Amino acid sequence: MASSVGYIITSSCSDIIEDSHWLTDAYIVFATPYFLYDIYAMWVCYGHRLRVKGHQEGVAVLHFLRREFLLVTHHIFMVAICCPVSLMWRKGKADYFQGVLFLAELSTPSVSLGKVLIQYQQQHTLLYKLNGLFTLVSFFSCRVFLFPYLYFTYSRYLSVPLWAIPMVVPWQCNLGFLLLWPLQLYWFTLIAQRAVRHLTTRHITTRIARAAHPGRHTDLHVQQKQQQQRLRLPDNGPVPGFGVDSRGDPGLHCGL
């Protein structure tokens, strides 16, 4: 929803500073409570898991804040700082930039889908791999590259060099950049590390499996000949009804 609103706003603003759209302030008011709800939902889920393990509630709160410190800090900053600034300090200007910020949520569905697939142990599926690739691309484009893009767009609007923009924009913009952009870089690094670790682990596991069970990775003809020798059958071609099952082991299948 946020990315759809962002697209509507950005496509409606010809002048990135002076043009405005009614959806900008309306969606900020609508979406801000989500951050508080998200903190509450994370706490309910996390606290339930710890209580199942027998931890006391006071300990669960400390563990939750320590584990989700960055995300909780991000949400509180959005509610306490970004919302008032967006509604009052902008004074109805720069709706285009606010719309671009809404587009950052385009990466959220793929991140959430990845967590769901992990919970259902679907890391081996093609869907998980494709979703991981889309997550890397969308997160980099919509969150990491987003902030430099805002500075670049404003530099073109003012016709000043990009390096001079931090000295031209209000200090509040630079403060928001310094607080939010490192978080996006950190989370993107975690996503990239998980992707590399998944590919590396899968490659190592495959090599170990091949070393431990070399017969499983021979070609089908060799496996058939081995099966024939064990059954003392003549070498006159494939044996009807024998082959390789779904796990790669010699055995019966529906070949009759």
Residue 30 three-state SS: helix
Q: Rounded to whole angstroms, how far apart are CA atoms 192 and 199?
A: 11
| Among the listed residues 3, 29, 1, the one whose alpha carbon sits nearest the alpha carbon of residue 99 | 3
Asked if the structure places residue 67 within a domain, the reply is no
How large is the average pLDDT for residues 214-230?
51
Asked if the structure places residue 77 within a domain, the reply is no
Asked if the structure places residue 178 within a domain, the reply is yes
User: Do 70 and 183 contact (CB within 8 A), yes or no?
Assistant: yes
- Helices 22-52 and 57-67, packing angle to 10 deg: 130
Q: Domain containing 189: what range?
A: 107-232
pLDDT of 139 reads: 93
Q: Rounded to whole angstroms, how far apart are CA atoms 165 and 149?
A: 12
Give me the torsion for CA of 127, 184, 119, 200, rounded to 10°. Answer: 60
Residues 6 or more apart in contact with residue 239 via CB below 8 angstroms: 224, 227, 228, 231, 233
DSSP state of 248: S
Asked if the structure places residue 11 within a domain, the reply is no
Asked if the structure places residue 188 within a domain, the reply is yes
Q: Rounded to whole angstroms, how far apart are CA atoms 182 and 101?
A: 15
DSSP state of 168: T
pLDDT of 97 reads: 94
- Chain Cα centroid distance, residue 32: 21
Higher-confidence residue: 231 or 33?
33
Higher-confidence residue: 164 or 236?
164
pLDDT of 181 reads: 92
Predicted confidence (pLDDT) per residue in 158-202, tens digit? 999 999 999 999 888 898 899 889 989 998 999 899 888 877 776
pLDDT of 52 reads: 67
Asked if the structure places residue 52 within a domain, the reply is no
How many domains are there within the chain? Answer: 1
User: Do 255 and 242 contact (CB within 8 A), yes or no?
Assistant: yes
DSSP tally for the chain: helices H, then strands E: 11, 2
pLDDT above 70 as % of the chain:
75
Predicted confidence (pLDDT) per residue in 88-140, tens digit? 888 888 999 999 999 998 998 998 898 899 889 888 889 998 999 999 999 99
Asked if the structure places residue 143 within a domain, the reply is yes
